[in-house]
Amino acid sequence: MITLLTGKKGSGKTKKLIELTHEAVVNSKGNVVCIEKGDTLTFDVDHNARLVNIEGYGISGYEGLYGFISGLCAGNYDITDILVDSTLKIGSSDLNRLTPFLTRIKMLTDTAKVHITFSVSADSADLPEEIFKMAEIK
């Protein structure tokens, strides 16, 4: 399952992502991973979640992000939830490039049985139509 937290910059997406991370840690019977760009969430995310600063791995672009996420799933079958902050900063601000990325992620979530949440700094009205078929928009 894919969830997108949408809204303009400053609308509270990161705060909601942190809340969802805490909920996942409480409810998960497996592992929870939170991916961020930078190290701003260090003191906000529950220490039982694995917090990953993606900049430390040289990851950029949607291809790199997909490879990183699929590698996490392949390396640890116990991951139940992955939450990604600043998705457009990692991948690309071009919303049309988000669609093929989410198509691949959808296949991964179906195979690995993992729930992935992305924060996307865009109004939901600006998202391509195909995305609404693949993801829950909040």
* CATH number for the domain that contains residue 74: 3.40.50.300
Query: 49 — phi, psi (to 5°)?
Result: -90, 145
pLDDT in tens, 26-69: 999 999 999 999 888 878 888 899 999 999 999 999 999 999 99
Q: State the pTM of this model.
A: 0.93
Confidence of residue 23 (pLDDT cuts 50, 70, 90): very high
d(CA 5, CA 107): 20
- Parent domain of 11: 2-137
The total of structural domains in the chain comes to 1
d(CA 134, CA 65): 18
